Amino acid sequence: EVSFKLADHPKLPKGKVVAQIVLDGWGEANPDQFNCIHVAQTPTMDSLKQGAPEKWRLVRAHGKAVGLPTEDDMGNSEVGHNALGAGRIFAQGAKLVDIALASGKIFDGEGFQYIKESFKDGTLHLIGLLSDGGVHSRIDQVQLLLKGASERGAKRIRLHILTDGRDVLDGSSVGFVETIENDLAQLRANGVDAQIASGGGRMYVTMDRYENDWGVVKRGWDAQVLGEAPYKFKSALEAVKTLRAEPKANDQYLPPFVIVDDSGKAVGPVLDGDAVVTFNFRADRMTMLAKALEYDDFKDFDRVRFPKIRYAGMLQYDGELKLPNKYLVSPPEIDRTSGEYLVHNGVRTFACSETVKFGHVTFFWNGNRSGYFKEDMEEYVEIPSDSGITFNAQPLMKALEIGEKARDAILSGKFDQVRVNIPNSDMVGHTGDIEATVVACKAADQAVKMIIDAIEQVGGIYLVTADHGNAEDMVKRNKKGEPLLDKNGNIQILTSHTLQPVPVAIGGPGLAPGVRFRSDVPEGGLANVAATMMNLHGFVAPDDYETTLIEVV
């Protein structure tokens, strides 16, 4: 039985309202024309920076500091919010899958043994994001999975790909398809009937999140499961190249397509008796498909046909819902998160974002757990996102509305912690539209101001940080840091996150005099923020939490 009782902080009082603001995709980088945060007018964040080093500092938000396999791994929202919420660094999905594949244990586990029972008479379908982005999935893991499954009896394999262009450069889909086609050709040479069966761009097909738009998942279902799509091709390479040229979609938004045989018949619908593995390790954008594949009772769209299959996720995506029931690798066991501790110590909590990031400050924050810890102590508010648009068309997103909800929660006197995620710099940064991203950064800064103003009114405290970088660098660079040009002499737009550190700023009238950032945690990362927050609420963090960033002098 875990005790959630926290010790009192020897110097810091309880009962102050603390706002925790997470700017999504807001890193620190050299000020140049590709740094949208620098180009944008961000007076609030600029003035916080003036507080360095005592009230403003940088923390690490990528690589090992957030449980990713290597220092070359950029940060992302899942691992960033996990670290912020849990206060400890857990080996994350990317790494756990690497380990399980390297040892071969993935193939001995219950999940693989379960799907293997379909190999004799059924087809093995692999569905997921095909890139080396390392945020949701990695192509090298798919290659090892293909190899391992075929060596263990899979005789008919169908791959359903989602093209990326968001965690990797736009246009890189072609290379990834070539790579995987080579592997599939090898398998065919060894007598395995293996090919790509369908595809589409991740933002238009399958990978929606937090139930923003079920139509996205349905488009994927139709292609993957029913074998129906508006575009039909003989090969995936042809599909991707053609659709990029006409209707001129980018990788993120390729329309759904199916691969057909000479008679025009889809080569890989999912049928009774088949096995399906969704090979993304990250949860948010696989949960909706997992529900469609797993739940008997399902009403979010008309599945038309619900095949009797054996389904496993690369990981279990939701520990609370036990979704999916079968999985190849156990997810990180992120327990005893700061949110759970704080509610058990009387901290009434409010969390808010708009749909596309709502689960970040709730589900990811709470260790990939959906729902409340103590319903009467918590309120989570979701502001519906605009759907069916790319966010460069609407770069203000719901920043103002989030700011207002947070302000109202702060002024209501009903909450001790008010936590928000402001998505603009990330969501617009991912579109690669530099001008719109500048607008997005300005909007995010204004939302921060609204919240800080409310904190000033109630004598509270604020802590402003970010989960990883994005908008501060919008160009692909060489090792020397110079922008890379493509063969036409154009700069290569960076739609992805970055390896940059992110700011943490503290302040507000409720911050006790003498509170400042310590200088002896130079390598501090996002996981150190949780203990810091506990201090601001008047508590000392549990011993095994990463150390606090602040001291009282």
State whether the Cα torsion 341-344-346-348 is positive or negative.
positive
Closest separation in Å from C-beta 467 to Co ion: 8
- Judged by CB under 6 A, does residue 172 bind ligand 3PG? no
C-alpha span between 534 and 540 (Å, rounded): 6
**CB atoms < 10 A from the CB of 348, how many?**
19
Say how far apart CA 454 and CA 405 lie, in whole Å: 11
Distance of CA 383 to the CA centre of its chain: 18
| Residue 283 annotated as binding site | yes
77 marked as binding residue:
yes
> What tokens appear for 506 in the block?
């503290």
Is residue 62 involved in binding ligand 3PG (CB under 6 A)? no
Please tell me whether residue 167 binds ligand 3PG under the rule CB under 6 A: yes
- Do β-strands 257-259 and 275-278 pair in parallel, antiparallel, or remain unpaired? unpaired
81 vs 156, which CB is nearer to ligand 3PG?
81
Beta strands in 392-546 (DSSP E): 417-422, 461-466, 502-507, 515-517, 539-540
Q: With respect to Co ion, which residue has the nearer C-beta, 340 or 426?
A: 426
Confirm or deny that 344 is annotated as ligand binding.
no
Quote the CA–CA distance of 248 and 230 in Å, as a whole number: 15
CA 277-281-283 angle, to 5 degrees, is 100
Span from 70-78, 141-149, 325-333, 484-492 in contact with ligand 3PG (CB under 6 A):
70-78
Calpha distance 197→235 (Å, rounded): 9
Does 98 bind Co ion (CB under 5 A)? Our answer is no
The phi and psi torsions of 133 (rounded to 5 degrees) equal -60, -35
Identify what 167 binds: Co ion, ligand 3PG, none; CB under 5 to 8 Å per kind: ligand 3PG
Please report, as a single letter, which amino acid is at residue 525. G
Closest to Co ion by CB, 118 or 287: 287
HSE (CB half, 13 Å, CA atoms) of 524? 27
Window contacting ligand 3PG (CB under 6 A); options: 53-61, 76-84, 112-120, 239-247: 76-84
Packing angle, helices 139-151 and 93-103, rounded to 10: 30
Q: Are 29 and 503 in contact (CB under 8 A)?
A: no
Give min distance, CB of 3 to ligand 3PG, in A.
33
When the beta carbons of 236 and 494 are compared against Co ion, the nearer one is 494
Q: How far is the CB of 165 from ligand 3PG (least distance, A)?
A: 10
Asked whether residue 467 is marked as a ligand-binding residue, the answer is yes
Residue from the set 426, 433, 445, 467 that interacts with Co ion by CB under 5 A:
426
What are 290's two structure tokens?
Answer: 């997992």
Residue 454 binding: pick among ligand 3PG, Co ion, none (C-beta 5-8 Å cut-off by kind):
none
Q: Stretches 66-74, 75-83, 484-492, 522-530: which one binds ligand 3PG (CB under 6 A)?
A: 75-83
Which tokens is 151 given?
């060596």
Binding to ligand 3PG by CB under 6 A, coded x per residue (else -) over 452-481, reads ------------------------------
Residue 497 annotated as binding? Answer: yes
Q: Name the pairing type of β-strands 539-540 and 7-8.
A: antiparallel
Toward ligand 3PG, which CB reaches closer, 71 or 453?
71
CB 54 within 8 A of CB 517: yes
Q: Where are the alpha helices (DSSP H) in 106-192?
A: 110-116, 139-151, 173-189
CB of 340 to Co ion, least distance (A): 26
Q: Which stretch binds ligand 3PG (CB under 6 A): 71-79, 233-241, 329-337, 474-482?
A: 71-79
**Count of residues in contact with ligand 3PG, rule CB under 6 A:** 12
**Pairing of β 310-315 and β 327-329:** parallel
Dig out the tokens for 413 from the structure: 């006197």
- Residue of minimal CB distance from ligand 3PG? 77
**Residue 509 CB contacts under 8 Å (≥ 6 apart), including other chains:** 455, 456, 459, 460
Distance in Å, CB of 135 to ligand 3PG, minimum? 4
Q: Which of 426, 433, 445, 472 binds ligand 3PG (CB under 6 A)?
A: 426
Distance CA 74, CA 65 (A): 11
Q: Is 135 in the site for ligand 3PG (CB under 6 A)?
A: yes
* Number of chain positions touching Co ion (CB under 5 A): 1
The site partner of 285 among ligand 3PG, Co ion, none (C-beta below 5 to 8 Å per kind) is ligand 3PG
Residue 81 is encoded by which pair of tokens? 């919010």
Site string for ligand 3PG, 227-266 (x = CB under 6 A): ----------------------------------------
**Catalytic residue (choose from 77, 131, 198, 338):** 77
Nearest approach, Cβ of residue 74 and ligand 3PG (Å)? 9
Active site residue 131: no
The span of 194-202, 382-390, 425-433, 451-459 binding Co ion (CB under 5 A) equals: 425-433
Strands (E), 282-348: 310-315, 327-329
**307: cis peptide before it, omega within 30°?**
no
Q: 166: annotated binding-site residue?
A: yes
Binding of ligand 3PG by 24 (CB under 6 A): yes
Instruction: Kindly state whether residue 285 participates in binding ligand 3PG, applying the rule CB under 6 A.
Output: yes
Asked if 382 interacts with ligand 3PG (CB under 6 A), we say no
Q: Return phi, psi of residue 420, to 5°.
A: -135, 160
Q: Is 164 in the site for Co ion (CB under 5 A)?
A: no
209 in a labelled binding site: yes
How far are the Cα atoms of 73, 80, 388, 418, 520 from residue 88, in angstroms, in the given order? 18, 11, 37, 21, 18
Q: Nearest to residue 65, comparing CAs of 86, 79, 85?
A: 79
Please report, as ranges, the residues that interact with ligand 3PG according to CB under 6 A. Answer: 24-25, 76-78, 135-136, 166-167, 285, 426, 430
Active site residues: 77
Please report, as ranges, the residues that interact with Co ion according to CB under 5 A. Answer: 426
Residue ranges at the known binding site for substrate: 136, 166-167, 202, 209, 282-285, 357
Residue ranges at the known binding site: 24, 77, 136, 166-167, 202, 209, 282-285, 357, 426, 430, 467-468, 497
Residue ranges at the known binding site for Mn(2+): 24, 77, 426, 430, 467-468, 497
